[in-house]
Homo-oligomer: A and B are copies of this chain.
């Protein structure tokens, strides 16, 4: 999916863009409405993430203008918690969904997938790894047909691997993913959670690459 992100806050913008890319989508990031209008004229997007407060205007005006041209691209609005009236205005102007700041990046991923599903018509995308089935949108994992219950952290870690099937991931990378930036973890948390995942899903779900990190394994003995 090709996603246009309209957000002027540099920190949030970068975080969201990284998440989008990490989810395997293409991301165009602009910080002003003028650039956004240029972008939507230049290319077709599958989804637009729209901040409401921007330096050169209000997002809802942009949205209304977009809709008036007949453009039906799904638009997800990013709002602060106290901008209730603006949010309603955005929905009435034709937004399809909204997210309240500060939002969870996981929730963002889930919503983006939901949009993709709605407009692509296909049901839930299943990822298969040997006898393991992963439903990313439902956050459920089955092994040999049996549903395996994962905790929040376990799922977060596992999702990181599933989303980048062949990529090697270092422990600092994974820590960053699990704990954003602020939290400081000075222990072997990742090792512990890798162990817990292996216990629940089989020893070969995650492969250790000594001195470098981990990557998704090849359960079922396929290769």
A residues neighboring B (CB under 8 Å): 67, 72, 81, 84, 87-89, 91-92, 94, 98, 100, 104, 106-107, 124, 135, 137-140, 145-147, 149, 151-153, 155, 166-168, 170, 172, 181-182, 184, 209-212, 215, 218, 222-223
Closest B residue, CB atoms, query A211: B152
B-side contacts of A100, CB under 8 Å: 91-92, 172
Residues of the B chain whose Cβ atoms lie less than 8 Å from the Cβ of A167: 137-138
Question: Contacts A89-B81, A184-B81, A223-B146; is A72 near B104 (CB within 8 Å)?
Answer: yes
Tell which of B72, B107, B155, B211 touches A172, judged by Cβ atoms closer than 8 Å.
B107
15 further A-B pairs in the complex, CB-CB below 8 A; given A91-B181, A94-B104, A140-B166: A67-B104, A88-B181, A92-B100, A98-B181, A107-B170, A107-B172, A124-B166, A135-B166, A137-B167, A138-B215, A139-B209, A139-B212, A151-B210, A152-B211, A153-B211
